[in-house]
Structure 1
Amino acid sequence: MRKVALVTGAKQGIGRAIAIALAKDGFDVAINCRNENSVPAAREVAAECMKYGVDADCFTADVSSLGECDEMVRKVVTQFTRIDVLVNNAGITRDGLIARMSEEQYDDVIAANQKSVFNMMRLVTPIMMKQREGRIINITSVVGLYGNPGQLNYAASKAAIVGMTYAAAKELGGRNITVNAVAPGCIGTEMTEKLPEKVKESMLAAIPLRRVGRPEDVADAVCFLAGDRAGYITGQVLSVDGGIIM
């Protein structure tokens, strides 16, 4: 029986790369996208995954909503019968300086980035506990580890994910469920393309490897943590950042 991975925010960018990489490693993949407008892109990801001989399908849910997450998880379990790996990848940015950031900008990012991780872990954990095994991998960011001007809300959401990862790892270790986080640095995606040029230039200058990362670099780290060789690794934050955190 193939194992099943559920990846949130998987229609593009890092999420897309993670879904395809897991399919290459033999996982059936449930691809989450936010709404019906995102379904065509998510279906393209599913088609790419199925080229590797696995099953894949897309499931809509705004993961900031516990109710929508609950409905999606039920559909995934009905179709695939189990969930072995949860990758909490969904995230947004609403950048702005502190003095100008609106309450809406702050709340939107916290809901989409951080509350979504609670929602999904809350719903998938009982499934994994019954299975007596599971892997949870939370996508945080190096911004959550050292901050970034103009991204107070994003940094707060990603730092919270680190704390949640540590807490969940301690709670769930006895049930053979590992919980880890991957912290990407400057990765070439649509999200990073929206950053101001000066910000991108300063980040690139700070990267010892002197290049922007690829979504596949992050996907490789996720696949390692999802695989059999990472069975004794939990409560860790793996930075995939070309050395920028040093």
Structure 2
Amino acid sequence: MEGNVLIIGASGDIGVAIAERLANDGYQLLLHYNKNRKKIDEFSEKLDKECLLTVIQADLKNDIMIKEFLNKLVFPVDYIIFAGGAAHFGLFQDITEQIMNDMLTLHVKAPWMITHHLLPAMIQQKSGKIIFITSLWGDIGASNEVVYSSVKGAQNSFVKALAKEVAPSEVSVNAISPGYIETKMNNYLGEDEKAALIAEIPINRAGLPSEIAHTVSFLLDKQSNYIQGEIINVNGAWK
């Protein structure tokens, strides 16, 4: 086996694609989800039972549940993939403080706490990789997605800063920044809106979750160890 991978947000389209690819690559999986247990169960049925170490449910917008989640991590973790999250659409002036708090906790505080919990063992072993799935909007921003853009930008900054801090300990930290990927997160768009977006993308199509999963696999490969603190754009040359 290639090692134990904790996938945060494993029930999303990108999370499932990552889990499937890494299982095929020979990794053992620890899968986190919040609401979509059915998706996890459907995926788990296809897996070799030796590949799946545990499945843990937790609402990572909740401080108490974050701590409970950490207490349930009884297996060693060699790699962390932060593939979870939630978007929020609307004018910034209409956003409530509760939404702000939820988005900050889910995308920033929870990854901080999970990394803080697991990082000491990686440093001690002089081995480990942490990968964030961030967003194009974390770099350039998006109207009507101000809070989402902000927290994804925070993830990018965290990756760059932590990578410098832990590089001497041979722990790598990187991010993958997708553009428009064909997932349920984009179901709020009408067909005309999707067509207009795709028309702006030089490669003239939406990206696929499997392409994000392939990039994760590439970063986990030992041949990629010299890549450190990078935000890798996977966006078809959009923006």
Give TM-score, length-normalised by structure 1. 0.89
Counterpart-to-counterpart distance in 2, 1:62 and 1:198: 34
TM-aligned CA distance change 1:226 to 1:66, over 3 Å: farther
Match for residue 238 of structure 1? 232
Q: Deviations over 1:27-58 (max 9, x none)?
A: 00111011xx533322322333427x623431
The yes-or-no answer on 1:159 pairing with 2:148 is no
Report deviation, 1:84: 0.9
Match for residue 109 of structure 2? 115
Q: Which amino acid aligns with 2:21?
A: A
Assess if the C-alpha contact under 8 Å between 1:94 and 1:106 holds in 2.
Answer: no
The DSSP-based 3-state class of the residue aligned with 2:72 is helix
Q: What is the correspondence of 1:77-116 to structure 2 with a 5 Å cutoff?
A: 78=74, 80=75, 82-116=76-110
Report deviation, 1:175: 1.1
Counterpart-to-counterpart distance in 2, 1:26 and 1:119: 27
**Among candidates 193, 199, 205, match of residue 205 of structure 1:** 199
The yes-or-no answer on 1:228 pairing with 2:222 is yes
Q: Deviations over 1:204-228 (max 9, x none)?
A: 1221100011100101111111111
Q: Which moved more, 1:144-153 or 1:113-122?
A: 113-122
Match for residue 60 of structure 1? 57
Counterpart-to-counterpart distance in 2, 1:56 and 1:222: 20
Aligned length: 239
Counterpart-to-counterpart distance in 1, 2:63 and 2:195: 38
Match for residue 22 of structure 1? 22
Assess if the C-alpha contact under 8 Å between 2:131 and 2:176 holds in 1.
Answer: yes
Assess if the C-alpha contact under 8 Å between 2:7 and 2:81 holds in 1.
Answer: yes
Assess if the C-alpha contact under 8 Å between 1:137 and 1:222 holds in 2.
Answer: yes
Q: Deviations over 1:66-122 (max 9, x none)?
A: 54334334433x2x3x21110011100121012322223332222212222212211
Counterpart-to-counterpart distance in 1, 2:131 and 2:196: 29
Q: Which moved more, 1:195-204 or 1:163-172?
A: 195-204
Report deviation, 1:171: 1.0
Q: Deviations over 1:131-159 (max 9, x none)?
A: 22100001110011111111001000101
Q: Which amino acid aligns with 2:33?
A: C
TM-aligned CA distance change 1:105 to 1:6, over 3 Å: same
Write out the 4+ residue segments of structure 1 that deviate beyond 4 Å after TM superposition: 196-199
Assess if the C-alpha contact under 8 Å between 2:122 and 2:128 holds in 1.
Answer: yes
Q: Give structure 2 stretches of 5+ with no counterpart.
A: none
Counterpart-to-counterpart distance in 2, 1:83 and 1:95: 34
The yes-or-no answer on 1:192 pairing with 2:186 is yes
The DSSP-based 3-state class of the residue aligned with 2:236 is coil
TM-aligned CA distance change 1:139 to 1:171, over 3 Å: same
Match for residue 3 of structure 1? 3
Assess if the C-alpha contact under 8 Å between 2:9 and 2:84 holds in 1.
Answer: yes
Q: Give structure 1 stretches of 5+ with no counterpart.
A: none
